[in-house]
Amino acid sequence: MTTDTATGTDPVPATRSSEVAVALTGGTLGAGRRMRNTAASVLMVLAFLLAATPLVVMGVQVFSQGIDAVTSGSWWTAPIPETGRADLADNEALQDLGFGDTSGGDSSASEVVLGMAPAIVGTLLTVLGASVLAIPLGILGAVYLHEYGKKGRLARLIRFMTDVMTGVPSVVMGVFVYTVWVLPRGVDGKSALAASLALACLMLPIVVRSTEEMLKLVPDNLREASAALGTRTWKTTVKVVLPAALAGITSGSLLAVARAAGETAPVVFVIGFVTTTNLGFLGQNTTLSAQIYSQQQNGGALSTELAWGAALTLVGIVLVLTLVARGISRRFQIG
Amino acid sequence: MTVTAPADGSPAASLLEEGAGAGPDRAFRTVTLVAGTMVLVILLLIAVTMTVRAWPAFSEFGTSYFFGTEWVPSEGKYGILPLVWGTVLVSLIALVFAVPMSVGIALFVNELAPRRLRRPVVTVVDILAAVPSVVFGLWAFYNLLPGFQTVFNGIADAVAGIPVLNTLFGPSTGSSFMSAGLILALMITPIITSVTREVFATVPENDKSGALALGATRWEMVRGVVFPHSMGGVTGAVMLGLGRAMGETVAVALIIGARPEISLNLFGVGETMPAQIFRQLSEAGALLRSALIGLGVILLVLTVLVNVGARRAVVAVDRRVKGTA
């Protein structure tokens, strides 16, 4: 009897432990629970594929539709061709009247010297201007936040408003520069400089926040060691803290540059339009993003080819910047 | 005296307090302070100058500006509601698709994917964020709209006899609220994903392993532990995405079709505030220009409100986590 009760009580813990074991392997899960778990996992993978597939398809299509223009030899050096005639050849009503035909549109597109040099120069110029304005200012601002302001009331306010400013739509930055810079000057106000101002407004909060994150990663030991040698805060910051955070700051700034290079909305109505290269900050100019938009609006075979070429060029530039930034931040992670 | 802040209290610092080099230090501090304050100055300038330029429209049209249901500048009708409608509708469509997708990706990366898959997945999402808006627009315009038109019209035909659905899903030319919303969903997924991931990462590991130890499946653990813990933070992430969607300009301008209309047909042509500003500002006469800048002010106010809400939500999560740690 006693052995009987012993074996009677024994099975209870036995089943328990086996239940646990089974639960760990998923063996006795109810069909419903197991299915729900599997379904959730499948949905998670699906979510990623839903985002990744369009990206891949877009990459392939931008590449295949832009590669001819970009590799046409004259692309990086020639002025942007006038698209008026190609548009006429493409116009169906005119075709009906006997003015050219569809193949005429295509042949005129291939006869024209394809070029995007003015827009490439303009993109570099506007982004350079914006970087010169925003990056030093942003880094200094971040130094204030992290080295001086810390948890003070003003620093907290600036931090909060910087986050808010990151969320201000880029088109609003464009409208702002349009009202304070272009309107008072008329058409003359439209320039690479105006576009740089708008892009700088866009970049500033990004640079401030990413730089502050990097300053946080610099160990306090370094600051204390420097201070213990009798060094002033400013010198510690310039000679010790900033060099230590340099890689991270560079990478954050590059991401901001990449973002600015791709922006269209704040650029189009403050930069004007040109088809020849303008190396100056003053006077109308153009950028790759602005060209993509206006060529798309033109329609026509030649314009479309130019738009795709500009898109591929822009994506290339932005992608290189982004990947370089990621590479830098991965290689030089502090701590 | 916080001039030598990091070394407060250390003998070396206090010895130097008023000694040599205090001047440059004060100067440097002032320079950084000015740089830091620039953010506030610029934000203030944006708000003030734009409001001043928009004032003629605000005072001229008054309530007919804010509550007018027709935006036809050529006929002198400047009611912004159709544009607000388009902006809100497109953003909501974007959220409906982007939020589940982003939460799914965040869970995939944080909970499901093997360690060596994580970095590639994050890279892909980051690249999605890096693609310029205008490229999304160009691509969608030429390569997606024809397909969208076929699909949308197929759906419209299928629901033609059903009362509410046939209003929502009407005939389409391809350019539509829905097309713009779908592209926007793709564009705001990276920001929602990255914030959501950060929030999910704050869930205490003990709670998660506790749930698993009790025999919960991975999904039950996510539902029972990760979600309740992350509600506030995910709300913040969603609002950040909403702010992005509301302000997104070029991609929407290229694929929504440019007809300001309060229409319930999600497959129909519409227009948003930023797209309208973008299209018209350059060639606008004085009155239209003022009205457009007014749109900019309203857009600014809306996005600032949304972003303040979002930051509050995210900060609240931060605080709670640090409080319990």
pLDDT tens profile A144-170: 999 998 889 999 999 999 999 999 999
Q: By three-state DSSP, how is residue B71 classified? A: strand
Find the closest chain B residue to A156 by CA distance: B36
Partner B contacted by A313 (CB < 8 A): no
Confidence band of B4 (pLDDT split at 50, 70, 90) = very low
Task: Check if the beta carbon of residue A238 is closer than 8 Å to that of residue A144.
Answer: no
Does the distance separating the beta carbons of A315 and B132 come in below 8 Å? yes
B117 touches chain A (CB under 8 A): no
Structure confidence by residue, pLDDT tens digits, B169-212? 988 888 999 999 999 999 999 999 999 999 999 899 999 999 99
Hey, CA dihedral for A13, A18, A24, A27, is it positive or negative? negative
Q: Which two tokens stand for residue B103?
A: 């939460």
Give the residue, B250 or A98, on which the prediction is more confident.
B250
Contacts of A136 in chain B (CB under 8 A): 35
CB contact under 8 A, A62 and B135: yes
pLDDT of the residue at A5? 38
Residues 6 or more apart whose CB falls under 8 angstroms from that of A322 comprise A254, A255, A258, B126, B127, B130
Whether A204 is in a domain gets the answer yes
Would A232 be classed as within a structural domain?
yes
Residue A17: inside a domain = no
Residues A186, B314: Cα–Cα separation, whole Å: 43
Give A 18-57 residues with CB within 8 A of chain B: 19-20, 23, 26, 29, 33-34, 36-37, 39-41, 43-48, 50-52, 54-55, 57
Read out DSSP for B153-205?
Answer: HHHHHHTTTSHHHHHHS---BSBSHHHHHHHHHHHHHHHHHHHHHHHHHTS-H
Interface check for B46 against chain A (CB to CB < 8 A): the answer is yes
A332/B contact by beta carbon, under 8 A:
no
Q: Which of B171, B205, B195, B213 lies closest to B324, judged by CA? A: B205
Nearest by CB to residue B108, choosing from A48, A55, A224, is: A48
Amino acid at B1: M
Q: What is the mean pLDDT of residues A28-56?
A: 90
Q: pLDDT, tens digit, for every residue of B122-179? A: 999 989 999 999 999 999 999 999 999 999 999 999 988 888 888 889 888 889 999 9
**Structural domain boundaries enclosing A296:** 117-331
DSSP state of B72: E
Which residues 154-183 of chain B have a CB within 8 Å of chain A? none
Q: How many domains does chain A have?
A: 1
Subunit contact A233:B5, Cβ cutoff 8 A: yes
Find chain B residues with C-beta within 8 A of A319's C-beta: 127, 130
Of the listed ranges A156-160, A186-190, A229-233, A287-291, the one predicted with least confidence: A186-190
Closest Cβ opposite residue B131 in set A144, A168, A315: A315
Residue A200 domain flag: yes
**In 10 A of CB B290, how many CB atoms?**
22
Distance between CA A308 and CA A60 in Å, rounded?
Answer: 12
- Give the tens place of pLDDT for each residue, B40-72: 999 999 999 999 999 999 988 888 899 989 999
* Mean pLDDT along residues A16-20: 46
Contact A208 B4 (CB under 8 A): no
Beta carbons of B100 and A46 less than 8 angstroms apart: no
For A66, how many CA atoms within 13 A lie in the half-sphere containing its CB? Answer: 27
Distances (CA, A) of B181 to A45, A48, B90, B198, B299: 22, 18, 5, 25, 18
Q: Does B20 touch chain A (CB under 8 A)?
A: no
- With beta carbons under 8 A apart, name residues in chain B contacting A57: 143
Report d(CA B308, CA A167) in Å as an integer.
9
pLDDT in tens, B265-295: 999 999 999 999 999 998 888 889 999 999 9
Helical axes B22-61 vs A153-166, angle rounded to 10°: 50
In this complex, which of B38, B49, B132 lies closest to A289 when CB atoms are compared?
Answer: B132
Share of chain B above pLDDT 90, in %: 66
Closest residue of chain A to B212, computed from CA coordinates: A24
For residue A277, the domain's CATH number is 1.10.3720.10
Over residues B6-29, the mean pLDDT reads 63
Domains of chain B, CATH where assigned: 5-53 (no CATH), 80-324 (1.10.3720.10)
Contact A40 B218 (CB under 8 A): yes
Is A2 within a domain?
Answer: no
Q: What is the rounded CA–CA span in Å between residue B244 and residue B240?
A: 6
Question: Nearest Cβ partner of A269 from B7, B31, B282?
Answer: B282
From the number of C-beta atoms within 10 Å of its C-beta (0-12, 13-18, 19+), residue B50 rates as: buried
Residues 154-173 of A with CB under 8 A from B: 154-155, 157-158, 160-173
B274:A176 CB<8 A: no
Where does the pLDDT of residue B8 fall: very low under 50, low under 70, confident under 90, or very high at 90 and above? very low
Q: Which is it for the CA torsion A334, A335, B6, B10, positive or negative?
A: negative
Are the beta carbons of A297 and A205 closer than 8 angstroms?
no
pLDDT of residue B240: 92
Nearest to B66 by CA among B300, B308, B228, B291: B291
Minimal CA separation from A280 to chain B, in Å = 22
Closest CA to B278 of B301, B296, B302: B296
Whether B255 contacts chain A with CB within 8 A: no
- What are the b/e assignments for A95-131, b being 16+ CB within 10 Å? beeeebeeebbbebbeebebbbbbbbbbbebbbebbb
Maximum pairwise Cα distance, chain B: 86
Task: Report if residue A188 sits inside a domain.
Answer: yes
**Which pLDDT value is given to residue B164?**
85
Nearest residue, CB atoms, A264 vs list B12, B134, B218:
B134
Kindly tell me the burial class for residue A46, based on how many C-beta atoms sit within 10 Å of its own C-beta (0-12, 13-18, 19 or more). middle
Residue A143 main-chain phi, psi, to 5 deg: -60, -45
Q: Does B24 touch chain A (CB under 8 A)?
A: yes
Closest partner residue to B132 among A46, A237, A264, by Cβ?
A264
CA distances (Å), origin B215, targets A183, B107, B207: 67, 19, 13
At which residue do the structure tokens 């916080």 appear?
B2
Is A79 inside any structural domain? no
Distance in angstroms (rounded) separating the CA atoms of residues A108 and A87 = 10
Residue B235 to residues A75, B230, B231, B303: CA-CA distances in angstroms?
46, 8, 6, 15
Residue of B32, B87, B221, B238 for testing the chain A interface, max A β-carbons within 10 Å: B32
Report DSSP state, residue A97.
T
In a domain, A48, yes or no: no
| Cα of B308 to nearest chain A Cα, Å | 6
Chain A environment of B18 (Cβ under 8 Å): none
DSSP summary character for residue B78: E
Measuring CA to CA, which residue among B212, B238, B229 is closest to residue B317? Answer: B229
Closest CA to A144 of B134, B323, B34: B34
